[in-house]
Amino acid sequence: MTDSTRSVGRGGYWYDDAPGQKERARRVLEALRTYRAAEAAMRRRTRDSMAMGENELLALRYLLRQPAHSARPYELARYLGITSASITTMIDKLVKDGRVERVGVTGDRRGIMITATAHANEEVRDTLGKMHIRMYAVASKMSPTQQKHVVEFLEAMVDAVDLVEPA
């Protein structure tokens, strides 16, 4: 049995189960995985309660973070990593559900913006508002130094994950 097989067998995932720095790093990564699983479960419950797909919810959240709650269809497609045909189908459904509107761009006959409706904004806030308040309370209890370290850690993790190449 190799060292890596032994550590996986003892619950170390891919990392040595030795005490010290490796153990602390393993615990941090395990906590991050547990958080991600909890967040995925929350998104699933949210999608179910709002009768939406994953990309529809992500699109709404993206729009609600933009100035005037608007973006061009190609920006949404690029953000979601989907084709123009898929984005058109998704926008059609969101328009039908009253969650977004197509708004013409002044001076550009072919240009449109996709804008989240006030109804969508209220629906997302009603659905996610309490959770966001609880999350904000946790983050605001941290010292400025702790907040800085968490932000630096998460930014470094984004970089580490973004460097993963497809198989």
pLDDT of residue 2: 46
Query: DSSP string covering 79-94, please?
Result: HHT--HHHHHHHHHHH
Is the predicted pLDDT of residue 21 greater than 60, yes or no?
A: yes
Range of 13's domain? 1-50
- Evaluate whether residue 95 is within a structural domain: no
Let me know: does 113 contact 79? Beta carbons within 8 Å.
Answer: no
**Per residue in 73-108, pLDDT tens?**
999 999 999 999 999 999 999 999 999 999 987 777
- Evaluate whether residue 105 is within a structural domain: no
Is the predicted pLDDT of residue 149 greater than 60, yes or no?
A: yes
- Evaluate whether residue 115 is within a structural domain: no
**Per residue in 23-36, pLDDT tens?**
889 999 999 999 99
**CA separation for the pair 73, 3 (Å, rounded):** 50
- Evaluate whether residue 4 is within a structural domain: yes
Mean pLDDT check: name the lowest of 15-29, 75-89, 124-138: 15-29
Q: In a 3-state reduction of DSSP, which class is residue 109?
A: strand
- Evaluate whether residue 56 is within a structural domain: no
- Evaluate whether residue 83 is within a structural domain: no
Q: And the tokens for 124?
A: 């997302």
Nearest C-alpha neighbor of 113 from the set 69, 78, 79, 53: 69
Q: How many domains does the chain have?
A: 1
- Evaluate whether residue 138 is within a structural domain: no
